[in-house]
Amino acid sequence: MEPDLKENYVVNNLKTATSIVGIVLLVSLTVLVNIFITNQVSKSRYIGLDHKNLPSIQLKGEGTVYATPDTARISLTVLTQAPDTSQALSDNNRKMEAVIEYLKAEGVEENNIRTTGFNIRPLQERIEDPQTGKKRTEIYAYRVINTVEADIKDIEKAGKIASGAVEAGANRVDRLQFIVSREEEYKKEARRKAVRQAKERGEEIADSLGVELGRLLNFSEDRDFFRPMARAQAMETADRTEVPLEPGENEIKANVTLEYEIR
Binned at pLDDT 50, 70 and 90, residue 237 comes out as very low
Predicted confidence (pLDDT) at residue 36 exceeds the cutoff of 70: no
Binned at pLDDT 50, 70 and 90, residue 240 comes out as very low
Look over the chain and give the mean of its residue pLDDT values, rounded to a whole number. Answer: 81
Predicted confidence (pLDDT) at residue 32 exceeds the cutoff of 90: no
What is the pLDDT, as a whole number, of residue 194? Answer: 95
pTM value is 0.61
Q: What is the pLDDT of residues 42-99, one digit of tens each?
A: 544 444 445 556 788 899 999 999 998 999 999 999 999 999 999 999 999 999 999 9
Q: Are 57 and 210 in contact (CB under 8 A)?
A: no
- Residues of the chain with pLDDT > 70, as a percent, come to 72
What is the pLDDT, as a whole number, of residue 246? Answer: 73
What is the pLDDT, as a whole number, of residue 163? Answer: 92
Length of the chain: 263
Binned at pLDDT 50, 70 and 90, residue 121 comes out as very high
Q: What is the pLDDT of residues 155-213, one digit of tens each?
A: 989 999 999 999 999 999 988 889 898 888 999 999 999 999 999 999 999 999 898 88
In sequence order, what E strands does 83-153 have? Answer: 113-128, 135-152
Residues sharing a CB contact under 8 Å with residue 56, sequence separation 6 or more, in sequence order: 217, 259, 260, 261, 262
Q: Are 163 and 182 in contact (CB under 8 A)?
A: no
**Measured between alpha carbons, how far is residue 159 from residues 71, 86, 89, 99 in Å?**
12, 34, 29, 15
